[in-house]
């Protein structure tokens, strides 16, 4: 079978052609078919993003039968992605959700995805390891909760993911323990990244090229990044090393099945209290798949929504919820920015949006009046996103907006990924309203606490000083903004204070697993995708080991 046919089969969405593509199974190329309803698949996985897509690959390669579901379509980037911000909103999860709290979240473009590959299809590719001390933040730093996994073990799985994605990064990363060289050379830093470098040098802190999951040199049939700048709306050249382009092809080759446009609405449990399969809607009809194990990897909103919606006589409060913590302790990353104007031409849309970074305030605890940390990254918003920033944050419209947009190529910006603390009042619950599938929609409640606010104020002041120091003028701050979602089904040491154990296995139901950003006990000050994939790799290894010992 030619490489071209392999690529075409991988990227053929049911939504476009009405029929599923041929896929590679152990016996060779055969038409993709649905798993026979009277048989039980080893693992039904809900979600194909950083957690679910990685697990589909690793479990299939370990010899398990796997069917993975995604509510979104299976896109072919080379044919179906456009250099058009509005058109590419098809990648985002924009189904209705109710948002409240003191600081209601704005959901959609920067914190959830709806396609095979999940949010990684439109993520900014920033691939960072968490600070070692964060895995024991309560014991070592005095806040949050300890993770039941040590940093040394996580370092092993970080390396596995970095190799799988061929992360492009600097030879020497200036923060944290020494680590092997990144698989691919760093990307050349653009003018926007160099502006961050000047700001950091003015403030006396280190900076580095950002480790990114996009190719800096060819890989097999994939080309290197051409710096076209539409990364956060979907890479149309396949240089981005998303789950769609990395773990999913391996999963298919190992025999896994991916069902796109399949919304899982309920997990069934039997009279023995174990899960027995999933109900899902596809092509306008509800279906059921028998499964020996179910893995929920729908991310921090859809995961608790599904668990809470799967009530039964055994589990009147939802699945895996004996602790009462399913849906609670929702965390986000604060995502505030400072913007300025310079004389030289920056053209910040050229290249990935965050080509330079400083993690100084992730690793430095002196000079803080808050717990936690934050990273600062260079920025490169596309024109429509930048215009929305002007209208939404500065109230510009009409000629004033036109005049401001004329300065687009001379703008610089710094933005944080800031840690927020887990709070039980920040949560996901079920609303009375129903969605297009007849399922209760999610109510998402989030409020900043005093610690979160002090971190934001510290970051804004530091970034303002940095832009001043590098010679920017007309500096203004964007005080709102969040990104990424974590928490709502956290891992821990015991069933009274957590939802799953270190292996991502439910304390309550031994054949129910949860593996995505929802299991994070704390959020850290870095983008979560690398950590989610590392946890998924670890969980797959543990499942394989448990199976070998007859403990699965």
Per-residue pLDDT tens over the stretch 262-319 = 999 999 999 999 999 999 999 999 999 999 999 999 999 999 999 999 999 999 999 9
Q: pLDDT band at residue 17, thresholds of 50, 70 and 90?
A: very low
pLDDT reading at 16 higher than 60: no
pLDDT digits (tens, 9 = 90+) for 473-518: 999 999 889 999 999 999 999 999 999 999 999 999 999 999 999 9
Per-residue pLDDT band at 38 (split at 50, 70, 90): low
Q: Residue 79: what pLDDT?
A: 95
| Torsion on CA atoms 429, 433, 437, 438, rounded to nearest 10 | 100
The answer to whether the CB of 424 falls within 8 A of the CB of 328 is yes
Q: pLDDT at position 6, please?
A: 32
Q: pLDDT value at position 515?
A: 98
Q: Could you tell me if 70 and 259 are in contact, meaning their C-beta atoms sit under 8 angstroms apart? A: yes
* Phi (first) and psi of residue 397, to 5 degrees: -155, 160
CB-count burial class (<10 Å; 0-12, 13-18, 19+) for 546: middle
Angle between helices 52-61 and 529-548 (to 10 degrees): 30
pLDDT at 7: 34
Residue 112: the pLDDT is 84
For 378, residues 6+ apart whose C-beta sits below 8 A from its C-beta are 190, 192, 193, 195, 196, 210, 348, 353, 354, 355, 356, 357, 412, 413, 414
Q: What was the pLDDT predicted at 74?
A: 97
> What confidence score (pLDDT) does residue 36 get?
59
Task: Please give the share of the chain, as a percent, with pLDDT higher than 70.
Answer: 93
Crossing angle for the helix pair 529-548 and 151-165, nearest 10 degrees?
110
| Mean pLDDT confidence for 387-414 | 95
Both tokens assigned to 522: 């704390």
DSSP-assigned beta bridge partners for residue 374: 418
Mean pLDDT of 323-337: 98
Reported as a single tens digit per residue, the pLDDT across 368-389 is: 999 999 999 999 999 999 999 9
Angle (CA) 313 314 319, round 5°:
110
Helix pair angle (191-203, 450-469), 10° resolution: 100
At 39 the pLDDT is: 74
Residue 20 predicted with pLDDT over 90 = no
| Model pLDDT, residue 21 | 38
Burial of 498 (0-12, 13-18, 19+ CB in 10 A): buried
Question: In sequence order, which ranges of 241-359 are alpha helices (DSSP H)?
Answer: 247-253, 299-309
What does the DSSP assignment read for 309-340? Answer: H---SS-TT-TT-TTS-TTBS-EEEE--EEEE
pLDDT digits over 113-153, tens only? 999 999 999 999 999 999 999 999 999 999 999 999 999 99
Sequence-ordered list of residues with C-beta below 8 angstroms from that of 175, at least 6 positions apart, any chain: 131, 206, 208, 359, 360, 362, 363
Q: What is the pLDDT of residue 108?
A: 79
Tens digits of residue pLDDT in 178-202: 999 999 999 999 999 999 999 999 9
Write out the two tokens for 146.
């300890």
The confidence score (pLDDT) of residue 34 equals 52
pLDDT of the residue at 110: 73
pLDDT band at 97 (very low <50, low <70, confident <90, very high): very high
Average pLDDT of the chain is 92
Q: Assess whether pLDDT exceeds 70 at residue 32.
A: no
Confidence (pLDDT) at 33: 44
């Amino acid at each position: 079978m030619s490489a071209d046919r392999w690529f075409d089969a991988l990227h053929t969405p049911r939504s476009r052609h009405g029929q599923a593509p041929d896929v590679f199974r152990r016996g060779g190329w055969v038409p993709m078919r649905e798993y026979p309803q009277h048989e039980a698949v080893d693992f039904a996985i809900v979600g194909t993003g950083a957690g679910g897509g990685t697990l589909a690959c690793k479990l299939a390669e370990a010899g398990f039968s796997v069917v993975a579901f995604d509510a979104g379509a299976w896109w072919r980037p080379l044919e179906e992605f456009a250099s058009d911000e509005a058109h590419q909103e098809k990648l985002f999860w924009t189904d209705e959700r109710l948002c409240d709290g003191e600081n209601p979240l704005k959901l959609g473009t920067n914190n959830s995805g709806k396609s095979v590959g999940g949010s990684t299809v439109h993520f900014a590719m920033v691939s960072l390891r968490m600070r070692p001390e964060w895995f024991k933040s309560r014991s070592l730093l005095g806040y949050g909760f300890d993770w039941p996994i040590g940093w040394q073990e996580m370092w092993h799985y970080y390396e596995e993911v970095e190799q799988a994605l061929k992360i492009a990064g600097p030879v020497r990363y200036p923060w944290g323990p020494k680590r092997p060289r990144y698989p691919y050379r760093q990307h050349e830093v653009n003018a926007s990244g160099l502006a961050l470098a000047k700001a950091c040098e003015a403030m006396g802190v280190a900076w580095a090229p950002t480790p990114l999951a996009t190719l800096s040199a060819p890989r097999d049939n994939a080309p290197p990044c051409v710096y076209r700048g539409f990364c956060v709306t979907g890479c149309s050249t396949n240089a981005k090393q998303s789950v769609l382009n990395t773990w999913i092809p391996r999963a298919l080759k190992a025999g896994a099945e991916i069902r796109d446009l399949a919304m899982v609405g309920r997990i069934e449990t039997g009279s023995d209290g174990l899960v027995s399969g999933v109900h899902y809607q596809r092509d306008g009809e509800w279906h059921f798949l028998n499964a020996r194990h179910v893995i929920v990897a729908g991310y921090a909103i859809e995961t608790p929504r599904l668990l809470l919606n799967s009530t039964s006589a055994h589990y009147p409060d939802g699945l895996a919820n004996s602790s009462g913590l399913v849906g609670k302790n929702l965390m986000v990353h604060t995502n505030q920015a400072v913007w300025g104007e310079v004389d030289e031409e920056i053209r910040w849309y050229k290249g990935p949006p965050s080509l330079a970074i400083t993690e100084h305030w992730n690793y430095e605890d002196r000079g803080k009046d808050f717990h936690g940390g934050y990273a600062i990254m260079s920025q490169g918003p596309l024109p429509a996103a930048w215009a929305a920033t002007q209208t939404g944050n500065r109230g510009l419209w009409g000629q004033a907006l036109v005049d401001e947009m004329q300065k687009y190529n001379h703008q610089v910006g710094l933005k944080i990924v800031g840690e927020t603390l887990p709070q039980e009042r920040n949560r996901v619950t079920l609303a009375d309203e129903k969605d297009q599938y007849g399922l209760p929609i999610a109510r998402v409640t989030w409020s900043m606490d005093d610690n979160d606010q002090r971190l934001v104020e510290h970051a804004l002041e530091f970034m303002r000083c940095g832009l001043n120091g590098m010679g920017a003028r007309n500096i203004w701050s964007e005080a709102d903004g969040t990104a990424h979602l974590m928490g709502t089904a956290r891992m821990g040491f015991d069933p009274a204070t957590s939802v799953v154990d270190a292996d991502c296995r439910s304390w309550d139901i031994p054949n129910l697993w949860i593996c995505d950003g929802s299991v994070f006990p704390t959020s850290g000050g870095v983008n979560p995708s690398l950590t989610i994939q590392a946890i998924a790799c670890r969980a797959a290894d543990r499942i394989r080991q448990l199976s070998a010992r007859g403990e699965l």
